[in-house]
Structure 1
Amino acid sequence: MTTFFQLVVVGISTGSVFAIVGMSLVLVYRATGIVNFAQGVFAVLGGLVTYSLSQHMSLVLAGLLAVLVTAIVATVVAVVAVGIRGRTTHLASLIITVGIAIFAEAVLLAAFGEVPRSYSAISDRAWNVGGVLVQPQYAALALVALLAAVGLTLFLRRTIVGQALVASADSPRAAELIGLNLRSIAVIAFALAGALTAIGGVLLAPTVPVSYSSGLTITINGFAAAVFGGLVSIRLALLGGYALGVVEQLVVGYIDPQYNLIIALAVMLVLIGWRSRGELAV
């Protein structure tokens, strides 16, 4: 049983990153109606930029700057995805984000090489809880995911900016009539989602080294988590990320690590089919 609980702990840790990416996808979708398939790139960018900058400054400062850089890149992605006038269709925007993800992978390869990068964790000492080792980094990831879920929920429900983000996607024409700029709304949503995803990437890299090609796997897992919440529920995206992370770690521990991505795709397809029949409540 110790092995089982150890896998669950690690699964919750990696699942927290999936949840963070999933919640970021939900934020962008609820604000713009766009599914951003370049979202995983922001996690990779956060991790790789932190690694690069940490060679010249403290790790904390490197992480903060990496999040800022990623937010700026996400802003550029928003402008490209929604178009200069904000009139690009949602399908066209989706295809654009896929193209951006492919282009970003090539840029990351050229800039950082193909070797997976990592750096020191919060602490090298693990807590022993009944024979199960819990790394402080695991706890940090789970805590950030939980705080992000609470923060995003309150932001979307209780703040004027959050309500404006949701309103612009629910009724774009009405939003324009009351003076909301759809492109500005998209930029805010993408920037916030990019920064949040970068934080996940910064915290992930010490436990799971990231490389230029890690974005695809992260995006697929994050999208599966978001689909669990119907692309509209922050809470269910959080739970979906946790569940997916645990399932994948159990596959790693008891079956074969090479089936990780297959499991994520299978879960995503099942959830899409389930939701399309209206059997999963948001």
Structure 2
Amino acid sequence: MTQFLVTTFCNAAVYALIAVSLNVIYRSSGVLNFGAGHIAAIAGIFYVNQMSPGVVGILVTLAVAACASLVGYAVAVAWGQRRGIDHVSLSLALLGYGLVLDYLAGEIWAKEGFSAGPLIDGSVTVGGTTFSSERILVVVLAAAFIVGTLLFIDRTMAGNAIEATAADPELATLYGVPTGVVALVTWMLAGAALGLAGVLQASIAAVSLTTALPLVILGIAAAVVGGLGSISKAAAGALAVAAVQTAFIQFVSPRYSVSMVFVLLFVVLALRPAGLFANARVAERV
């Protein structure tokens, strides 16, 4: 049981960060970033190959991922919004951007899986099960980022500007909110979340270009199960998705793990379309 819980929380940490990134963008623009998995995977590969394990390496990787996200906004979304292109088309444009990044990364790095060196050494034994201290750190880092994001949105003027822009961009502009700057901050924040997801994925398992699609699928599942548009509930959705996946890997068969996530997603959409943890009458905004 201890191994099950540790694996579940570690996987949930990665999925929650991707779900948070998806939610931040969706709330501000109505667009789903289908290229999120590619940015996360490439960030993890960049961290393993170009950076040394440590705080500096993580911060540089987050900055690179934030810039990649910002470029995606500039080339795939901003121009489309000005021309009135629908959200579905913009979401697919982001997938195209992710595939371009995938191709470029494949020209630079090998397509094999990469694992990062440990950030901390040591191990912990609980209930007869021994696991690395690195796994505890992974959960702590993800939780700290998510809590920090919530506090940033709820307690700062910049966060209030993001909220105002998400609620009504035209009204926010009339009140003097620089919506263009807000969009840049939003996409960079979302990119940083993906960068950390890639770093943590490389730390607990391995990351490669082939993990991009599974990562975005599981991130979207977490966001939808928890409640699309809600950052805190998306994190809870990530825990539910990770628990289902881990349960089938450990107790049934690995081949059914992803299929069962889709079953969970189907059940939630059929019975609770606002999200498993959303209010029955209205989904929470954050």
Check whether the contact 2:226–2:275 (CA below 8 A) recurs between aligned residues: no
Answering whether residue 17 of structure 2 is matched by residue 20 of structure 1, we say yes
Q: Which stretch of structure 1 is more off in the superposition, 149-158 or 244-253?
A: 149-158
- SS across alignment from 1:163: helix
**Aligned equivalent of 1:156:** 153
Is the CA contact 1:8–1:250 (under 8 Å) kept in the aligned structure 2? no
CA distance in 1, matches of 2:271, 2:31: 21
Matches within 5 A, 1:24-35: 24-35=21-32
Q: Describe the superposition over 1:225-276 as per-residue Cα deviations: whole angstroms up to 9, x where unpaired.
A: 1112322222211111122112211111112222232223222233233333
1:276 alignment partner AA: P
Q: Deviations over 1:45-83 (max 9, x none)?
A: 2211111113xx565433322221111111101112322
Three-state SS of the structure 1 residue aligned to 2:22 is helix
Number of paired residues? 277
Contact 1:168–1:185 (CA under 8 A) maintained in structure 2 = yes
Amino acid at match of 1:61: V
State the Cα deviation string for residues 125-173 of structure 1 (Å, max 9, x = none).
Answer: 3200121223222111211222223222222222221121122122122
- 1:146 aligned residue (120, 143, 163): 143
1:232 to 213, 229, 232: 229
TM-score normalised according to structure 1 size: 0.89
Match of 1:61 in 2: 56
After TM superposition, list the pairs within 5 Å mapping 1:1-282 onto structure 2.
4-54=1-51, 57=52, 59-84=54-79, 86-87=81-82, 88-276=85-273, 280-281=278-279, 282=283
- SS of the residue aligned with 1:206? helix
Distance in structure 2 (CA, Å) of the matches to 1:16 and 1:155: 19
Q: Which has the higher contact order (CA 8 A, sep 6+)?
A: 1
Q: Secondary structure at the match of 1:134?
A: strand
SS of alignment partner, residue 113 of structure 2: coil
What TM-score, normalized to structure 2?
Answer: 0.88
Q: 1:261 to 1:105 in 2, by over 3 A?
A: farther
SS of 2:209's partner is coil
Letter of the 1:161 counterpart: A
Change (3 A) 1:187 1:268: farther
Distance in structure 2 (CA, Å) of the matches to 1:203 and 1:117: 12
Between the aligned partners of 1:23 and 1:277, the Cα distance in structure 2 is 16
User: What is the deviation of 1:110?
Assistant: 2.2
Which residue type is aligned with residue 78 of structure 2? G
**Structure 1 unmatched runs, 5+:** none
Between 203-212 and 84-93, the greater mean CA deviation after superposition: 84-93
Distance 2:79 2:70 in 1: 13
- Contact kept? 2:34, 2:95, Cα under 8 Å: yes
Instruction: Provide the C-alpha distance between the structure 1 equivalents of 2:91 and 2:219, rounded to a whole number of angstroms.
Output: 16
* 1:60 to 1:156, Cα distance in 2 relative to 1, 3 A: closer
- For 1:277 and 1:142, the matched residues in 2 are separated by 27
Q: Give the letter aligned to residue 58 of structure 2.
A: G
